[in-house]
Amino acid sequence: MKTFKIFLATFVMLAFVISSNSYKAYSQCTPADSTECPDPENNGEICPDSLPVAIAGQFYDQVVTILPPPTVGDSIVLDLHHLELIGVEDLPPGIGWVSNSPTNEFMAGTYYCILLDGIPVDSGKYYLKIIVDVYAYVTPSLFMLVDQHVDSTSLAIEVKDPFGMPEYTGKNFFIKNNQPNPFQSLTRIDFFSAGPEQVCFEVYSLLGELVHREYTDAVTGENQLTFDGGFLNRGTYFFVLKTDKSKATGLMVRSD
């Protein structure tokens, strides 16, 4: 559990559990209760306090419970009415979110949940930019918007490559994610080679069916391979670049 101790924590921790609303999540969620997610200090809670790492190409499903704090502010303390999520930017594609609040408003003192699910596409760290409106009581009977907080936070959602691709050291065979991804026809794959060698490029469906193979000659250092995947059906594919001694794998998505 994570206790909300100061006003800023409300934004930061809320940001950590929310993914992009540009994708529709698959189902609703049920929040934990005071037994599963207690709030002994009455400062608000988020359960759990960290999320499992997402794996590119694998289904991700996580429920997060949020209990907004009763008050906000530091030098000036106001009673919170609700928080409203306005936008989240710079997020990993493929994971969607849905809350059990149809307006994405989280009332003070009430348990809510956010379901994160979907299939992440690209591995890497995605640093979140969050926009949150804060509504608090300015008189005992009147609440209003008191702040809009834009936080380019140091927190990130990490999506790992399922094959544990190594970092390039100058001695390893290494590939970068293809760009653009998703793609409609052409996509480019940058890769590094420790020396001149022949490279085999293969594309597989998620069921393991080989759908394309070609060969290219690599030079020492950085190389580029342009793939015309216009013949592929819409969907996600594995691709493999391999030599006699090394192999590296990634994911690509063919869009409409």
Q: Which two tokens stand for residue 154?
A: 């140091």
Residues of the chain with pLDDT below 50 are: 1-27, 165-170
| 223 touches 193 (CB < 8 A) | yes
**Per-residue pLDDT tens digits for 225-240:** 899 998 999 888 888 8
pTM, full prediction:
0.52
| 47 touches 32 (CB < 8 A) | yes
Q: What pLDDT shows up at residue 218? A: 87
Q: Which two tokens stand for residue 120?
A: 């992440």
Q: Domains plus CATH for the chain?
A: 2-160 (2.60.40), 174-254 (2.60.40.1930)
Q: What pLDDT shows up at residue 119? A: 74
Q: Which two tokens stand for residue 88?
A: 């989240």
Concatenating the DSSP letter of every residue in 69-131 gives -SEE-SSS-EEEEEEEEEEEES--TTEEEEESSTT-EEETT--EEEEEEE---S-EEEEEEEE
3-state secondary structure of 10: helix
Q: What pLDDT shows up at residue 144? A: 94
